[in-house]
Amino acid sequence: MRLNRYLSQCGVASRRGAEEIILGGRVSINGHIVTELATQVQPEDKVVVDGSPVRTETPVVLVLNKPKGYLCSRGDKHERMTIYDLLPLKYQNLHHVGRLDKESEGLILLTNRGDLSHRIIHPSQGAEKEYEVVVDQPLNVDVMAKLVKGMMTEEGFARAERAWMDTEYRAHIVLKMGLKRQIRMMLYYLGYEVERLVRVRIGWLKLHGLAKGSYKELTPTEVERFFKQEAAKPRLERKPAGDEGDDEAPRRPASRGRESAPREQRAKKKSGPPGRFSAEEKPSRFKPKSKTFSPRSRSGETGQGERPRGRSGPPARRPAPRGPRRGPSSR
């Protein structure tokens, strides 16, 4: 087993965090400091981190329905209640995956597996967290759109993956990010105060059936679902055309009244939008003049022997100027 994975299973840190610990020279195996990430750990090896021996523990993953008024902390200098006050002694060594503030409630995971913590917390891994939010003023679709678009907060840029309304005062917001008090800050910038905030889902795991303040241990099969699940899709998605299970891409249906003729035949019949014509259909801008056209012919005044007017035929002679022609000598 690789050393970083071994440290992760011991609950020291996530795999990435374990790599930093190894490169920092804080790990020794059988008395020798190890800085190679590819080091393999054998069952009989003695691994020490920062002077303390570590060993693999039986993987444990708990899900807890946190009530309002409890801190996500191992201890508090003001002696306030923490989530570890709800757990028996054998689970006191577990670390919580992420956190909920004191006034929030709902699902939270506790485990000794660092790889699971990384999977849930890191936004690139695709583990979604869904929250049910109750606010003090009526909501609208514009507010939902602004939550998804995102905004700058004191903790940085914050946005929701999806958001929708249940009622005027209650909405559901899905996050992948984990900024401090993210939902409360986003709604505060939009002019709302959060009256109740409940985390109802982590990945595939939902809150249904778990009373406030109670917990249960997940089975190995349930834990593996966090690693095998795909990223959740949007609530509304287009239904694929065609039968299910068809590997081929669905074809675009033909328009009504259009025959499935060859492309060459369709090209001949194709006409442009109104006001435009093809080269064969485009009418002449001016009608050609008839050879027998005459303005007088409209009223029937032209005789049979009269020559029609027009530019056809030889050009007319220029009439002679009237009066005596002035020459150079007449000046």
Residues recognised as catalytic: 101
CA–CA distance, 292 with 100 (Å, rounded to integer)? 97
Query: Which alpha helices (DSSP H) does the chain contain, by range?
Result: 3-9, 15-23, 114-121, 141-149, 182-189, 220-228, 263-269
The pair of three-digit structure tokens given for residue 326, joined into one six-digit string: 């002035």
DSSP output for 165-216: ESSSSEEEEEES---TTHHHHHHHHTT--EEEEEEEEETTEE-TT--TT-EE
205: enclosing H helix or E strand = strand 205-206
Specify whether the CB–CB gap between 71 and 96 falls below 8 A.
Answer: no
DSSP 8-state class, residue 82? B
